[in-house]
């Protein structure tokens, strides 16, 4: 508190003896020992004939206080930059004479040349491993204390140069320039190291190569360059992420890193680009960052870095929740500024520079909810399920509390979305209402109606739950399985299958779990295989077993996978299973094939190679499971059942014996959540009605635009 008062006093005194704005003065005070660097920038541009440069410097310095990094790059081994320079020279030389954009993917000679050089580089890097040194400090590093004058001046000069020269930036007014070209970082919390001037020097010659007619062409050039440079450097990888070099030497380029680097690169070359993101999806525990390009008509074009696709719609589709844009300037309508003085904000919404842009992509609804809780807070939140968080919920949008009318107004709610209304209490999210979703209602006064999922009238009831899945079946996998109709299994004694005989043809869509086919076979064969339909020549088989009788004399066998049991009365059927899986002589080699590796998550998309037995043998049955997300109940795995009662409460853990779980005396009329605590990450809440599970975004909240994928 004393520090805050001291800062305010200093700001007041400085404002009265300088021409600086209060925001700029406060930034200078907060900069501490780095103040002289920032003052040098202001003095450098104060009398510049281009008065906008001074305004731009003020814009950056005023808003630096809102930005920070969680890593600081102290040192990068010069060998890394020299390696990059060699690769860059090689790439530029190889592309000599191939300046047309169509040549990047369509020219056979160019592809061969790139491939040959890449193989030579890989061989050289394997025999001459690099010993590079990167020093990175971890902590919280405020931009206002870190950025020096030379960095900022070179960056500002480059930004103005490309603003004036680039045909993609000339139409921008000063305010748009400040947000979409000028910033040295693309979003809050990332690590910066190189100025726009350096980035332009390194990437500009590649992005602007040849006669490229539109932004999509420049995107293709950038992607081609980054991808080939990455292939050149393989198998060398950096142990620490250090910014732009991660594109070429990184350990793993996730969407945030790619979006950050691509945005900074394009801005440095005169393309107005931003980074948007979603912090949650309706059905998945994930987030996603992507880029946007602003054209001269004011239209935003979205793209995933690494992809050569531009679209007016968001890459995250209709399954995402609220979308946010990373701005450089502080956004006064963000939770950071709307909160009360001592109010805590959920971390995912804590940035002072986020702007809700959901309305650009989705139909939103202004939602008014009653609020009777006693609090000094100004904000409440709509939260949704997230298995990534210990609490099991994540705040996805905010609303302002109207204490006079005892209500909360949410301006950016979405239809067909599971919400829990919550506010922060003692540093944690606390509910002030029951879970619900919003349905359109054209006849209602507000245009919507709320559908609650918990029946409070019967909170004392208990009952049994018979559970067979932790996540619903995926629509695209079910469509893939349909294409297996017409596929068949063959036996042969010649390796080329010239004497093949069809033993079974799939005539009905396979089930999304283990199943058995009885073959029309009375002969012994040395080779067996599956052949996909000609109309859709992909196998789509996750696991495959060729079965013989349990009393076989064949020397190479393995236990057959039991057929699934989904209810208690079918348990006895397991006692009649007297079949074993026949194997190749080299069992370990056979296990290396994805359809024999005992891993349902690995799938053969291509035609399956045949199984070759040690000697001809009579195979009478086949067990198979098609391409699968493995979200059913797995015998041997442990499962945790939770239910929602103002928070996620644990009911109990069971180890599955079969393909179902039976939990007894469970509180009824709740939302449930089943976790596999041994493997997997996909799970989704459900309700239990009519003796079966009904997953939230599959059988409860039905939105034709949302498919479980």
- Above 50 in pLDDT, residue 10? no
**This prediction's pTM:** 0.89
- Above 90 in pLDDT, residue 244? no
Residues 417/437, Cβ–Cβ less than 8 Å = yes
Element (H, E) at 490: strand 488-492
pLDDT tens digits along 656-696: 999 999 999 999 999 999 999 999 889 999 999 999 999 99
Neighbours of 614 (CB within 10 A): 14
d(CA 527, CA 536): 23
Helix axes 215-233 and 196-207, enclosed angle (nearest 10): 100
Residues 310/303, Cβ–Cβ less than 8 Å = yes
Residue 608 has φ and ψ, to the nearest 5°, of: -80, 135
d(CA 336, CA 345): 7
Residue 42 has φ and ψ, to the nearest 5°, of: -65, -45
Work out the percent of the chain whose per-residue pLDDT is above 90. Answer: 69
Q: Which CATH architecture has domain 462-472+632-700?
A: Sandwich (2.60)
Neighbours of 296 (CB within 10 A): 12
- Above 70 in pLDDT, residue 460? yes
pLDDT tens digits along 341-396: 999 999 999 999 999 999 999 999 999 999 999 999 999 999 999 988 888 999 99
Residue-level pLDDT at 5 = 45
Neighbours of 153 (CB within 10 A): 18
First-last CA distance in the chain? 50
Q: Domain ranges for the chain, please list them.
A: 1-30, 33-273+298-317, 335-452, 462-472+632-700, 482-626
Residue 518 has φ and ψ, to the nearest 5°, of: -90, 120
- Above 60 in pLDDT, residue 259? yes
pLDDT tens digits along 514-547: 999 999 999 999 999 999 998 988 889 999 999 9
Give me the mean pLDDT over the 406-421 stretch: 96
pLDDT: which is higher, 6 or 269: 269
């Amino acid at each position: 508190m004393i520090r805050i008062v001291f800062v305010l006093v200093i700001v007041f005194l400085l404002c009265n003896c300088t021409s600086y704005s209060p925001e700029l003065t406060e930034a200078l005070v907060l900069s501490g020992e780095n103040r002289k660097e920032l003052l040098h920038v202001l003095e450098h541009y104060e009398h510049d004939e281009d008065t906008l440069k001074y305004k731009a410097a003020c814009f950056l310095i005023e808003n630096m206080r809102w930005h920070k990094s969680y890593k600081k790059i102290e040192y990068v081994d010069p060998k890394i930059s020299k390696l990059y320079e060699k690769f860059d020279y090689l790439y530029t030389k190889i592309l000599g004479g191939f300046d047309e954009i169509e040549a990047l993917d369509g020219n056979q000679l160019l592809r061969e040349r790139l491939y040959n050089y890449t193989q030579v580089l890989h061989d050289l890097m394997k025999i001459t491993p690099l010993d590079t040194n990167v020093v990175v400090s971890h902590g919280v590093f405020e931009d206002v204390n870190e950025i020096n004058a030379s960095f900022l001046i070179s960056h500002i000069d480059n930004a103005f140069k490309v603003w004036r020269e680039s045909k993609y930036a000339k139409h921008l007014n000063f305010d748009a320039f400040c947000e979409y070209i000028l910033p040295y970082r693309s979003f809050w919390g990332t690590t910066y190291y190189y100025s726009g001037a350096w980035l332009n020097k390194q990437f500009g010659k590649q992005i602007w190569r040849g006669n490229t007619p539109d932004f999509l062409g420049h995107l293709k050039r950038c992607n081609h360059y980054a991808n080939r440079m990455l292939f050149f450097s393989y198998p060398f990888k950096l142990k620490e992420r250090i910014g732009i070099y991660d594109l070429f030497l990184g350990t793993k380029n996730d969407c945030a890193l790619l979006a950050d680097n691509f945005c900074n690169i394009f801005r440095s070359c005169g393309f107005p680009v931003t980074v948007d993101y979603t912090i949650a999806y309706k059905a998945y525990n994930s987030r996603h960052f992507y880029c946007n390009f602003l054209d001269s008509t004011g239209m935003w074009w979205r793209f995933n870095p690494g992809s050569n696709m531009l679209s007016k719609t968001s890459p995250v589709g209709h399954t995402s929740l609220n979308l946010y844009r990373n701005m450089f300037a502080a956004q006064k309508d963000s939770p950071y500024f709307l909160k009360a003085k001592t109010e805590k904000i959920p971390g995912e919404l804590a940035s002072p520079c986020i702007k809700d842009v959901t309305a650009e992509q989705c139909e939103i609804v202004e939602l008014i909810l009653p609020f009777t809780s006693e609090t000094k807070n100004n904000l409440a939140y709509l939260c949704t399920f997230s298995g990534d968080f210990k609490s099991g919920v994540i705040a996805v949008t905010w609303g302002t509390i109207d204490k006079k009318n005892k209500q909360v107004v949410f301006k950016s709610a979405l239809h067909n979305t599971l919400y829990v209304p919550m506010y922060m209490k003692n540093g944690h999210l606390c509910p002030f209402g029951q879970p619900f979703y919003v349905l359109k209602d054209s006849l209602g006064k507000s245009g919507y109606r709320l559908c609650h999922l918990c029946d409070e009238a019967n909170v004392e009831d208990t009952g049994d739950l018979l559970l067979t899945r932790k996540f619903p079946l995926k629509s695209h996998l079910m469509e893939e399985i349909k294409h297996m109709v017409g596929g068949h299994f063959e036996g042969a004694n010649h390796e080329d299958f010239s004497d093949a005989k069809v033993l079974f043809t799939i005539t009905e869509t396979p089930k999304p779990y283990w199943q058995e086919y009885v073959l029309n076979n009375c002969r012994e064969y040395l080779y067996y295989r599956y052949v996909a339909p000609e109309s859709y020549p992909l196998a789509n088989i996750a696991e495959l077993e060729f079965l013989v009788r349990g009393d076989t004399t064949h020397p190479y066998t393995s236990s057959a996978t039991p057929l699934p049991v989904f209810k208690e009365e079918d348990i006895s059927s397991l006692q009649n299973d007297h079949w074993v899986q026949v194997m190749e002589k080299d069992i370990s080699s056979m296990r290396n094939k994805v359809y024999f590796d005992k891993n349902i998550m690995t799938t053969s998309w291509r035609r399956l190679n045949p199984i070759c037995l040690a000697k001809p043998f009579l195979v009478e049955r086949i067990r198979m499971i098609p391409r699968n997300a493995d979200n059913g109940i797995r015998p041997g795995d442990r499962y945790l059942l939770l239910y929602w009662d103002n928070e996620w409460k644990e009911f109990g853990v069971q180890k599955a014996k079969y393909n179902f779980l039976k939990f007894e005396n469970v509180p009824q009329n709740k939302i449930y959540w089943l976790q596999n605590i041994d493997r997997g990450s996909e799970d989704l809440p459900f309700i239990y009605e009519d003796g079966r599970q009904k997953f939230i975004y599959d059988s409860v909240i039905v939105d034709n635009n949302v498919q479980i994928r």
